[in-house]
Amino acid sequence: MKRRRSAVFVLVAALAASALPATTMAPLSLQEMVGASDLILHGECVDLRTQRVGRSVVTLATVEVADPLKGRMGEKVTVALPGGVIPDNPVPVAMVYPGAPTLMVGEEAVLFVSRGPALDDAWSVVGFSQGKIDVATDAEGYKVVQAPALAEVERQPATGRALRHSYFLEDFKDEVRRLVIEQAARDRGPRSR
């Protein structure tokens, strides 16, 4: 009888788990990311520290701002990233969130962030990892980014995955600035004469 109840419990638990929706993030266009962001910046991660927030672990990345693209900010911004490792506990604690953005000291990125619920003095990346655009240097020495399509989300025909395109960093930042200006004009609404 006890064995039968265990089997029924396992079956019910398996059915309930299969009915839960998968945690996925719909692909965002660049325009949607600009609209959802309070701050947009190009910068470099200069410090990382990990701490507990309730029952979760959060990594706080200090980013030195090289170029503010939207919003008012100081020379440095703190960004809260879900997960991380706290090695100095009696038993080291690690939390990993698949698809969460990560930063390393020395890494350069364009970040789309909004005021986060986790910490009052930290910002959260918009769209999970979609709001962190890596900056790299190509073979010819130009800074480039891999970013979502500028106009709308484009998808691979076979898989349906969102496509990313290569842009020169300065061209990408110019497009972000243009979208910020467009958004501000829309937010103001039509002008009366």
Q: What is the pLDDT of residues 102-116, one digit of tens each?
A: 999 999 999 999 986
Residue 147 is predicted with a pLDDT of 74
Q: Tell me the CATH number for domain 25-183.
A: 2.40.50.120
Task: Say what the pTM is.
Answer: 0.79
Q: How many CA atoms are closer than 13 Å to the CA of 69, on its beta-carbon side?
A: 26
Residue 172 is predicted with a pLDDT of 92
pLDDT at 11 over 60: no
Residue 155 is predicted with a pLDDT of 62
Please classify residue 38 by burial: count the beta carbons closer than 10 Å to its beta carbon, then call 0-12 exposed, 13-18 middle and 19+ buried: middle
The residue-averaged pLDDT of 1-14 equals 38
Residue 117 is predicted with a pLDDT of 66
* Sequence spans of domains, the chain: 25-183
Residue 27 is predicted with a pLDDT of 80
182 vs 163, more confident = 182
The residue-averaged pLDDT of 49-72 equals 93
Residues 6+ apart with CB under 8 A from 24: none
pLDDT at 8 over 50: no
3-class state of residue 142 by DSSP? coil
pLDDT grade, residue 190 (50/70/90)? confident
Considering only the C-alpha atoms of the chain, give the largest distance between any 2 of them, rounded to a whole number of Å: 81
pLDDT at 86 over 80: yes
**Phi and psi for 25 in degrees, rounded to 5?**
-115, 125
pLDDT over 90, % of the chain: 53
Residues 30-56: tens digit of each pLDDT: 899 999 999 999 999 999 999 888 888
pLDDT at 129 over 60: yes
Roughly how many angstroms between the first and final C-alpha of the chain, as a whole number?
A: 81
